Structure 1
Amino acid sequence: MAPPPNLARRRALADGALRVLAASGLHGFSHRAVDAAAELPPGTAANYFGSRDALLGAAAERVLELHEEDMAAAHGLVVGPVDREGLIGLLAMSLEMSAKLHRERYLAVYELTLEATRRPALQETLDTINRAAVDYSHEQHQVLGLKTSREDVQTLAALFGGALFTLVTRQPTEVDAATCAALARAMVAGIAE
């Protein structure tokens, strides 16, 4: 019987993969580079993920896990039902945190997204992850007392993604709370009443 998988090591490798993607893109992405970024012995990534596609998939899955952790933490700070202005505030805070604190993660996401246009298996993984993220976000909206439909959450996710791309690809010093609030207000205006 095989030993159970070491989840902490798998996460460390997936986090290392995200760091490599953010810093070097796909051109610098290899099992060896991920081992180094994760500060693990050479060959570790190859033992856990037998192919480059498997390692890219693990990085994508880690993004979803981190996204859900971030949303749960943010929503844990909210007391009582949230109205339209509260949603704008949550989106603005999330945009700013994502662009500043998690910039590396989202640079990696954009690398994965572009690569998925050339790799059907990765595209399938990302599509599954995106559906799960929309489902999770919709559930969180309901928990917060928002009447946002699943379709509106999909629209918000698309608008958020575009706004975040713009912010993440700027210099970090150019991201400020006022810009994020204006973008969040435009996003909420873009969904059905």
Structure 2
Amino acid sequence: MTLNEPASHDPAGTPAPTGERADLLETLAKHRHFLRFTVRDLTDEQAGLRTTSSELCLGGLIKHVTAVERNWVDFILNGPSAMGDFTAMTEADWARRADEFRMLPGETLAGVLAEYADVARRTDDLVAALPDLEAAWPLPKAPWFESGATWSARRTLMHIIAETAQHAGHADIIRESLDGAKSMG
């Protein structure tokens, strides 16, 4: 898969999604493309550079979006237990989570992109095959979620799209700060 190709969503001959599902996948593919496009022609070292006052780097943003998408798909499939209890996280748990936002020694941009492609295929396959977009789970315990709120699969997919779009914008700023290249605009 190249940076410009959307992930496939043809698991074992399943017909291509139509209607709302096709719209969700098309929107997600567009924002994934913008995010992947920000790292075109970069070295592993460049993908790990902080170019603004933020702690964020391009490779780390892609790692984070990959983790977010994976975790929310797990939530769609298995409910809040798939994500854990954020209120019980230790300092070590938060430190591991912070590693999502940076390129660690031994990580490569190619590896980060490959993992993102795998997660994207899984999400696309789920959207195509999920029996009911209305199926809902209570949100995991976290200080940033409304207590007692539930999200449907549809709402969760919209959240994945919003996260991807937001971080693609962050990545565009980081890339422009790195070498003047722009992906949007």
State TM-score, norm by structure 2.
0.29
Relative contact order, higher structure (CA 8 A, sep 6+): 2
Tell me which protein shows more helix as a share of its residues. 1
Which structure has the larger Rg over C-alpha atoms?
A: 1
